[in-house]
Amino acid sequence: MNIIITRPIDDSLEIISKFKILGHTVIHLPLLDIKKISYKTINFNNYKGIIFTSTNAIKFLDTKNIPKNILCYCVGDVTEQKARSIGFLNVISASGNIEALKELIFRTHEKKDGRLIYVSSEFITMDLDKILIANGYKVDRVINYTTTPIEYINENIINQLKNSPADIMYVYSEKSAINLKNLIKKYSLVDDLINCNLMCISEKSSRVLSSLKWKKIFIFNPGEEEFLLYKI
With a cut of 90, say whether residue 221 has pLDDT above it.
no
Residue 143, amino acid: I
35-147 sits in which CATH class?
Answer: alpha beta
C-beta separation of 60 from 44 below 8 A: no
Q: Are both 2-31+150-228 and 35-147 of the same fold?
A: yes
> Residue 149 forms beta bridges with which residues?
32
C-beta separation of 154 from 147 below 8 A: no
E-only strand ranges, the chain: 2-5, 25-28, 32-36, 49-52, 71-74, 90-93, 116-121, 139-149, 168-171, 197-200, 216-219
3-state secondary structure of 169: strand
Taking residue 69's Cβ as centre, other Cβ atoms within 10 Å add up to: 10
Q: List pLDDT tens digits, range 142-181.
A: 999 999 999 999 999 999 999 999 999 999 989 999 999 9
3-state secondary structure of 18: helix
Interstrand relation of 2-5 and 25-28 (parallel, antiparallel or unpaired)? parallel
CATH number 3.30.565.10 given to 2-31+150-228: no
Distance CA 189, CA 4 (A): 14
Give the DSSP H/E element, type plus range, for residue 101. helix 98-108
Give the DSSP H/E element, type plus range, for residue 164. none
14 band by pLDDT with thresholds 50, 70 and 90: confident
> How do the domains of the chain map onto residue ranges?
2-31+150-228, 35-147
The number of C-alpha atoms within 13 Å of 31 and in the hemisphere containing its C-beta is 20
77 band by pLDDT with thresholds 50, 70 and 90: confident
Q: Which of 64-68, 95-99, 130-134, 195-199 has the lowest mean pLDDT?
A: 95-99
Spatial neighbors of 129 by CB under 8 A, at least 6 apart, are 51, 118, 139, 140, 141
pLDDT at residue 229 in the model: 85
